[in-house]
Amino acid sequence: MPKAFLRLLVLVLCMVASVPAKAQERRVPHSGSQAVGFDFGVFLPSSDSGDQLNVAAPVSGFYEYYVTPRVSLRGSTGWTQPSVSGSSIDQVRMMPLQFGVNYNWEGGKWHPFVGGGAGAYFLQYRRRGAALGESVTRPGVSAGGGIEYFLSRTVALKGEGRYHSVADIARVDPSGTTFTVGFKTYF
C-alpha cells in the first residue's frame, strides 16, 4: 500500500509541476515576436497588351515583426526573371523590395491572413543572359492573403496568393499574381 501511495503522489506532483511550465509558454505569434521565412512558387503576368511576360518562378525571403498577436509588419525581397514574348528582349529581371502589414486570425494550427503593402520594384531588361541597359525602379503595391499551418510551436508551412500592381517599363507591364509556398519560423 505505501508503494502505491508513493507512486500516486509522484504522478500527481509531476502533473501539477507541468501546469506552470505549460502556462509559461507564450502564444505564437505574440506581441513583440518575430519571424523569418522564404517562399517559392509561380508568377502569372497580368498584361494583355504590349510585350508579354511569360510565367516564371519567383523566390523570396521575408522578415515579420508582430505589433500585436494579430497584426504584423513585413519586409520582403525577392527575385524572378520571366521571359518576354513579342520583343527583342529575352527576359525582365524583377527584384521587389516591399513593406507591408498583415492581419491574421487565430485558428489553432491554422492561421489565415490578409495583407497589403507597397514597395520599389527593381527591373532590368536582359538579352542573351546579359544586362541590357541600366536597371529602372518602379513603384508598386500588392494585396493578397494566405494561410499558415503550424508544424510545431515555432515552425509553420505557408501558402500565399498576392497581386502586384507595378508601373510599366516601356512596353512591358510587370504586374501580376504570385502563388507561393514556403516555411516560416518564429522567435
**pLDDT of res. 133:** 86
Q: Mean pLDDT in each 10-residue stretch from start to end of the chain (187 residues)?
A: 60 50 69 98 86 93 98 98 87 96 95 98 91 92 98 97 93 94 98
Task: Count the Cβ atoms, other than its own, within 10 Å of residue 119.
Answer: 21
The amino acid at residue 125 is Y
Residue 170's pLDDT is what? 79
What is the model's pLDDT at position 25? 64
Find cell 513593406 and name the residue.
Answer: 99
pLDDT at 8: 55
Rg (CA), the chain: 23
Per-domain boundaries in the chain: 27-186
- For domain 27-186, the CATH class is mainly beta
Element (H, E) at 2: helix 2-24
Contacts 24+ apart (CB under 8 A), 105-113: 105/70, 106/69, 106/70, 109/149, 109/150, 110/147, 110/148, 110/149, 110/150, 111/147, 111/148, 111/149, 111/150, 111/156, 112/145, 112/146, 112/147, 112/148, 113/145, 113/146, 113/147, 113/148
At 20 the pLDDT is: 45
pLDDT of 117 reads 98
Q: Which amino acid is at 57?
A: A
Asked if the bond preceding 20 is cis, omega within 30° of 0, the reply is no
